[in-house]
Amino acid sequence: MDYDTYGSTAVELAIDLANADLAPDDGVARFLASHDEWFATGTSLDLTPADVEKAAVTARLVRAVALAESQDDVLTRLNELLALARPRPYATDHDGELHLHYAGPDAPALEQLTTTVAMGLSQVVVQHGWQRLGVCSAEGCDDVYVDTSRNASRRYCSNTCASRSTVAAYRARQKS
């Protein structure tokens, strides 16, 4: 699959956010700290409680997009997410490669997060189809994923879940 580099990694940020455990009090702060390479230098990652709640809303919307089962549902949920974005594209070569960022470098952390996530997810959906997003088929896992495989054959969130399910299926066959 031929993603543009930034679009592709931006969707990974969206997927990471949807799968992150944001429930603990410091859940959102931990997520931001472990993804700080996404924020422009000098951005304060200290969110107000209201912003923490908004980050959780963004995470839920990403998940809702991935779980949607029709194009209509995807569009409704995606547009809800996009309504939260404040895109202000700018070109940069901060990592040595010329590319576009979706959010302004001086925007607050929440705005950078929501905008990057919404734009990255939308980019993949409109370019590659909404079926590229899904939820893990492994028992006991409900993480979402983006399918970047050539033939759109992905069913699991990770190699761990894929091999766990292969082993479980093998054992089930042995028994019967």
Please report, as ranges, the residues that interact with Zn ion according to CB under 5 A.
Answer: 136, 138, 141, 143, 157, 161
Q: Whole-number minimum distance, CB 79 to Zn ion, in Å?
A: 26
CA gap 31, 111 in Å, rounded? 15
CB-CB contact of 61 with 70 (8 Å): no
Q: Whole-number minimum distance, CB 99 to Zn ion, in Å?
A: 6
Nearer to Zn ion, 16 or 80 (CB): 16
Nearer to Zn ion, 108 or 120 (CB): 120
Q: Whole-number minimum distance, CB 162 to Zn ion, in Å?
A: 8
User: How is residue 164 written in tokens?
Assistant: 């766990």
Nearer to Zn ion, 17 or 157 (CB): 157
Torsions phi, psi for 116 (to 5 deg): -65, -45
CB-CB contact of 127 with 142 (8 Å): no
